[in-house]
Structure 1
Amino acid sequence: MSDGFSLSGVFPASLTMFDEAGRLDQPATHRHLASLVDAGAHGLVVAGTSGEFVAMAPDEKVRLVATAVAAADGRVPVVAGTGTASTAESVELTRAAAAEGAAAVLVILPYYMRPHREEVLAHIRAVGAASPVPVLLYNNPANSGTTELDAVDVGMLYREGVIHGVKSTFPTVHQVPEVIDETGPDFAVFYGGFMAPLSGLAEGAHGWISGVLNVALAEALALYDAVRAGDLAAARRWAAAIRQYRYLYTRRPLGQVGDLALYRTMLELRGEHGGHCRLPLLPLTPEQRARLERIMTENPALRGIAVSGAPPR
C-alpha cells in the first residue's frame, strides 16, 4: 500500500475523441478532458469502458494517458485503464501509464477467456506486484464475462498490498458497504454504475466513476456534495435530475442506441465537441438526433444545470 494514497470524489470515465475516420484525435481529447477539470471534476479516468479501451492499440492508450496528464496539468489525478485480457500486456501498459504520469491505474478483470477465480487473482496479483503506482480493481464481471471478485477477495488483495481501491460496477450496490467492511479507510471505493449513484454514495462509496459524468458532471458534483453534507433532500433532487440521463438509455425513447453515442450527441447539441465512436459502435441516426434534441428541449434537466440553476423539485 502506498503511504498517503487517497482518491475520492467524482471522476468522469472520460470519452476518447476519435475523428470521423476513427483516428485518435488528441487535440480534441485534450480539450474535452481539460473542460471536465475546469468544470470541477475531482479526477479523470481514461482508457476505461467509456473511453473504448477495447478498440484501442497499446500505443494509443499510452498517448491517451499522456494527453490526459497534460490536460489535467497537475490539478487533478489521472487514473489510467491498463487492464487487458493478457497479464503481460497489462503489466506493460501499467508501467507505461505510470511513466507518463498516471496517479493510479484501473485494472479490469481479465476478459473473454473466462479465467476461473484463481486465475483472475493471479492476474491481479501480477499486475499489482509490477505496478509503480496504486492499482484500482475494475470489478465489472458483466462486461468482462468472467468471475467476479467478492468483498472477501477484494479485502484479501487489499491486505496483501496488491490493490488500493476498487471501481465496483454491479447492478446492485450492496457490494459497496461489504467491501468497506473488508478493507480500511485508506482503500478507495468507487461506485461504478449509473443506476443508483445516490445509494452507492450513501452506502459509503468514496466517489463515483461513470461515463454519464461526461454530460452530467455538474449534477454529479452537487449530488456528491449533498451526500457529504448529509442533505438527503437535496441529494434526492440531484439524483432525480441524473436519472433523466439514465432514462435515455434504459427506456429507449430513441430506440436502440449506445450510451456513448448518446453522450457524444448531447455534447454536440450543447455546442461542444462530441467526436465519434469507433466501429462497430454507431452514431445516432439523423432521426434519432432530432428526437434527442426535442427531448432535451422539453426536459430542462437534460440541458444541464447551467440553464436552470437548480435541480428539479
Structure 2
Amino acid sequence: MADFGRLLTAMVTPFDDKGELSLERTTALVEYLIEHQTEGLVVAGTTGESPTLSKDEKLKLFEHVVKVVDGRIPVIVGTGSNNTAESVEFSRKAEALGVDGIMIVAPYYNKPNQEGLYQHFKTIAESINVPVMIYNIPGRSSVNITAETIIRLSEIDNITSVKEASGNLDQMAAIIRGTSDDFILYSGDDGLTLPVLSIGGHGVISVASHVIGDGMSNMIQDFLSGNHEDAAKQHLKYLPVMRELFAAPSPVPVKALLSQVGVETGPVRLPMVDLTEEEKSSLTKIFKEL
C-alpha cells in the first residue's frame, strides 16, 4: 500500500512580489507545513495554480520541493492534463526527479466518456513506476469519474489512491466498498474530512491545513483513537474557516491568510485576482474568531 499519510496539504505555489516562482518562499512554506503536522505534500494541483505554471516552472518546483523535503514526508506532484500523450511525457520527467507519487486530474474540456477516462489513466500509469493518485474533481473538469471506473482502475498495480472531490459521499462509499483494503480514498474537500473518515476513507488532501494544520491533525487523530465526540466538536469549530477559504476562488483566500500568519507566498496569477476589501474583512474576522 502506498500510504502517503492522513493529512496531506494541497500546497499553494509561492511567487515573489512580481508573480515569479520563488524557491526561497517555497522552502519557508514547506518547512512551515511540516512543522504544523502536514504528512505529505501535493504540489502543482488546483491549489498550486497549476494552469498558470509552465512545464519548466513545474519541474523546477518539483525538484526543489523534493530536495527541501529530503525524504521526511512524501511528495506527490500534479502532472495530468487533457492530453494523454503529453501527460505521459511529463509524468516521466517528474518521476525522474525523485517524486514519491503522481497525481493525475480527470481530463478537462474534452469531456471523455468512462472508457476514455479509463484508458487515459491506464496509459499514464503504465508508463511510469511510481504510485498514481486519481484526482476526481467534476466541478472543475466537467466530467465525473464514476465509482465503477475508479474501482476498475484500482486493479492496475500502481494506481493506489484517489482524491475524491466530487462531494458525493454515496460515490465515495461505493469506491471504498468496491476496492481492496490497500486502495486509499482521500477527501478532496476539507469540510468532508470527518464524514469521509467515518465511512472508511483514509484522510484528506487539504487546503485549510495551510493555516489550521495542527487542528486538522488533532481532529483526525481524535477520530482514529475513538474520541468521536471531540473530533466532531473540532469539525464544527473549524468548519467556518474551511468554508471561508472557498468563498472566493481558491487559492486566493488561503494565500491571504498565510500572509496574515507571517508566511509570504506572494500574489496569485491572472485570471485569479486578489480579494476585495470586503472579502478580506470577512476572512480576517472568521479567522480571528477561531
TM range (shorter): over 0.9
Task: Give the aligned residue type for 1:289.
Answer: K
TM-score (norm 2): 0.94
Question: What's the counterpart of residue 96 of structure 1?
Answer: 93
**1:134 aligns to 2:127 (yes or no):** no
Shift of 1:14: 0.5
Gaps of 5+ in 1: 302-313
1:87-236 matches, within 5 Å, as: 87-146=84-143, 148-161=144-157, 163-236=159-232
Paired with 2:278 and 2:198, the residues of 1 have a C-alpha distance of 39
Partner of 1:244: 240
What do the CA deviations read for 1:4-45 (whole angstroms, capped 9, x no partner)? 533331000000012232211111112102211122211111
The alpha-carbon deviation at position 247 of structure 1 amounts to: 3.4
Contact 2:106–2:134 (Cα < 8 Å) also in 1: yes
**In the aligned structure 2, how far is the partner of 1:15 from the partner of 1:122?**
30
Please, which of 12, 19, 23 is the counterpart of residue 22 of structure 1?
19
Task: Please state whether the residue corresponding to 1:273 is helix, strand or coil.
Answer: coil
User: 1:259 is matched with which residue: 250, 253, 257?
Assistant: 250
- Which residue number in structure 2 is paired with residue 270 of structure 1? 261
Following superposition, the deviation at residue 295 of structure 1 comes to 4.0
Matched residues in 1 for 2:148 and 2:278: separation?
48
- Whether the aligned pair in 2 keeps the contact of 1:31 and 1:71 (CA below 8 Å) is no
Matches of 1:274 and 1:215 in 2, distance apart?
A: 13
Give the number of equivalent residue pairs.
Answer: 290
Mapped to 1, the partners of 2:6 and 2:278 lie a distance apart of 37
The amino acid across from 1:149 in the alignment is I
Instruction: Flag the 1:93–1:259 CA change in 2: closer, same or farther, 3 A.
Output: same
**1:74 alignment partner AA:** G
Q: Is the 8 A contact 2:130 2:158 kept in 1?
A: no
How far did residue 291 of structure 1 move? Answer: 4.7
Deviation at 1:249, TM superposition (A): 4.8
Say which SS state the counterpart of residue 209 (structure 1) adopts: strand
Show structure 2 runs of 5+ residues with no match.
none
Shift in Å, 1:97: 1.5
Deviation at 1:210, TM superposition (A): 2.2
- Cα distance, 1:162 vs structure 2: 5.4
Matching residue's letter, 1:81: G
Deviating more after overlay: 120-129 vs 166-175: 166-175
Q: Following the alignment from structure 2 to structure 1, what is the Cα–Cα distance between the partners of residues 125 and 209?
A: 28
